[in-house]
Amino acid sequence: MRIHILGICGTFMGGVAVLAKAAGHQVTGSDQNVYPPMSTQLRKIGIRLYEGYDASQLNDDLDCVVVGNVLSRGNPAIEALLDSGIPYLSGPEWLATHVLADKWVLAVSGTHGKTTTASMLAWILDYAGLAPGFLIGGVPKNFSLSARLGQSKYFVVEADEYDTAFFDKRAKFVHYRPTTLVITNIEHDHADIYPDLDSIQWQFHQLLRSVPGRGLISVNGVDSNIDDLISRGVWTPVETFSANDKKSTWWANYNLIGSKSRFSVFRHGEELGQTDWSLLGKHNLENALGAVSAAIHVDVSAEIALEALSEFKGVKRRLEKRGVFGGATLYDDFAHHPTAIGSTLSALRSQNNDRRVLAVLELKSNTMRMGLHGDALGAVFDEAERVFVLSSGNLNWEPTSVLAGLKKKLFVSTEVNELLECLLAEIKNGDQVVLMSNGDFQGLPRLLQQGLESRVTD
């Protein structure tokens, strides 16, 4: 099959391209900005890439076009596609039809933590010898790639609630038909797509409707929004997990917290074992419980699952330690929602209570720029000694006003170079600095690292 993918350089669509190529299809693709590392990975496996969305990319030799959700009506390639009569599918629909149809699908959904949880789950299954396929919205360090076809009936997919395509406004995850489903948490997010929490809950309930009675739904046991979701109707066995509530099916607690932490895992009150690992935070402990619950549903033993977690290396840009530079430890994190920001800062504080935590945030996501989380944002920085914010001119709110309660520990700038200069003047030996954004932060992580390194050699 000859396939052209529009929007190919996004993590999800790039993953679809990798799977299509591995399945033997001839694949080309285009994006508004063809950029590394995705462009490098795709060219390396023989996929031809086009810059921009020129209508000439579409020709009569194509069997189908796979359309990413970044494209909309009015785009030249979309208008040419609709006029051409060439068959087209969304990315999730292509994945469901051509990859997942004969698989045991293990889907990981939720507002926060789904990339890390899906990565843990894929690694546990791989460690257990099950050779799963996977498509994840990040790069697990144990695999160094975000997607692979796999060599078994098992397939792990990060089940995103964002909309599918310009012609299909359902959540991506309704296409996947999982047998095993994990829901890490539910909050109102993606305000550019969903006007309120109820509209997101409706999409999640369509997902629940697709899980068979022989399947499993494993959910966060202390999330009131998930409680509301389950009360709308469920036809599949449900397990709960928590790092706080011993009444949950799965429960865990830290026995030791440090550069190497140790935790114990319980099911129905019975201890199944303990393990050491290098990740931080209570939120990651709950992510691990969701992954273990799902793995045991496909007959992986608790012992093997915990062994695998002891060797789990984490995910790029999920509280990823860049290194120690100029005496300060730099972390790169994807957090862009108040709950995720708070969890990240608490995780850093739990590891080193006597070292300063400096939070650096880019106001990048659509929801953040719309101001939906403005009121909640000011309350999540208790664990940070200083807060640095990179703003922009297209915000619907004023950060210095909304975050005025942070007083002198707040610094806001619209210029990345000004922010860099302030950070270099502020950072001291022993500080923990976490840069949080769902974008590229205008290159700030690299610039800050270079600045700290040069400060040492000057």
Rounded-to-integer distance, Cα 408 and Cα 141, Å: 38
Long-range contacts of 188-192 (CB under 8 A, 24+ apart): 188/372, 189/111, 189/161, 189/337, 189/367, 190/161, 190/162, 190/366, 190/367, 191/366, 191/367, 191/370, 191/372, 192/366, 192/367, 192/370
Indicate if 25 and 165 belong to the same structural domain.
no
Which of these three, 292, 310, 328, is where a domain ends?
310
Residue 298: inside a domain: yes
Is the pLDDT at 249 greater than 60? The verdict is yes
At 125, is the secondary structure helix, strand, or coil? helix
**Confidence at 424, pLDDT banded by 50, 70, 90:** very high
Residues 338 and 379 sit within 8 Å (Cβ to Cβ) = yes
Indicate if 254 and 274 belong to the same structural domain.
yes
Which of these three, 258, 286, 310, is where a domain ends?
310
At 252, is the secondary structure helix, strand, or coil? strand
Mean pLDDT, residues 432-446 taken together: 85
Residue type, 224: S
Q: State pLDDT tens for residues 183-240.
A: 999 987 766 777 888 999 999 999 999 999 999 999 999 999 999 999 999 999 999 9
Q: What integer pLDDT is reported at residue 190 of this predicted model?
A: 65
Indicate if 340 and 278 belong to the same structural domain.
no
Indicate if 152 and 203 belong to the same structural domain.
yes
Residue 291: inside a domain: yes
Indicate if 11 and 157 belong to the same structural domain.
no
Is the pLDDT at 9 greater than 70? The verdict is yes
Pick from 232, 233, 252, 231: which is nearest to 241 by CA?
252
The CATH number that applies at residue 452 is: 3.90.190.20
Q: What integer pLDDT is reported at residue 368 of this predicted model?
A: 64
Indicate if 87 and 114 belong to the same structural domain.
no
Chain centroid to CA 260: how far? Answer: 23
Q: State pLDDT tens for residues 255-311.
A: 877 767 899 999 999 999 999 988 878 888 999 999 999 999 999 999 999 999 999
At 81, is the secondary structure helix, strand, or coil? helix
Between 15-19, 42-46, 403-407, the lowest mean confidence (pLDDT) is in 403-407
Q: State pLDDT tens for residues 72-106.
A: 999 999 999 999 999 999 999 999 999 999 999 99
The CATH number that applies at residue 22 is: 3.40.50.720
Query: How does DSSP classify residue 457?
Result: H
Residue 96: inside a domain: no
Indicate if 118 and 245 belong to the same structural domain.
yes
Which of these three, 310, 343, 366, is where a domain ends?
310
* Residues in the chain, overall count: 458
Indicate if 280 and 164 belong to the same structural domain.
yes
Residue 97: inside a domain: no
Q: What integer pLDDT is reported at residue 293 of this predicted model?
A: 97
Residue 315: inside a domain: no
Is the pLDDT at 373 greater than 70? The verdict is no
Q: How many CB atoms lie within 10 A of CB 453?
A: 13
Q: State pLDDT tens for residues 117-146.
A: 999 999 999 999 999 999 998 889 899 889
Is the pLDDT at 370 greater than 70? The verdict is no
Rounded-to-integer distance, Cα 268 and Cα 139, Å: 33
Indicate if 234 and 297 belong to the same structural domain.
yes
Count of domains in the chain?
Answer: 3
Rounded-to-integer distance, Cα 267 and Cα 247, Å: 10
Residues 226 and 185 sit within 8 Å (Cβ to Cβ) = yes
Indicate if 146 and 273 belong to the same structural domain.
yes
Q: What integer pLDDT is reported at residue 436 of this predicted model?
A: 86
**Confidence at 421, pLDDT banded by 50, 70, 90:** very high
Contacts of 186 (CB under 8 A, 6+ apart): 110, 111, 197, 200, 201, 204, 223, 225, 226, 229
Indicate if 372 and 439 belong to the same structural domain.
yes
Q: What integer pLDDT is reported at residue 180 of this predicted model?
A: 98
Q: What integer pLDDT is reported at residue 426 of this predicted model?
A: 92
Q: Residue ranges of the alpha helices (H) in 133-236?
A: 197-209, 224-231
Residue 395: inside a domain: yes
Q: What integer pLDDT is reported at residue 187 of this predicted model?
A: 85
Higher-pLDDT residue of 379 and 99 is: 99
Degrees (nearest 5) of the Cα angle 116, 431, 425? 120
Q: How many CB atoms lie within 10 A of CB 418?
A: 12
Is the pLDDT at 446 greater than 60? The verdict is yes
Indicate if 389 and 420 belong to the same structural domain.
yes
Query: How does DSSP classify residue 141?
Result: T
Domain that holds residue 290: 102-310
Contacts of 432 (CB under 8 A, 6+ apart): 328, 329, 331, 348, 352, 355, 356, 357, 358
Residues 158 and 184 sit within 8 Å (Cβ to Cβ) = no
Contacts of 237 (CB under 8 A, 6+ apart): 215, 216, 217
How does the average pLDDT of the chain come out, rounded?
89
Q: Between 282-297 and 302-310, two packed helices, what is the crossing angle to 10 degrees?
A: 140
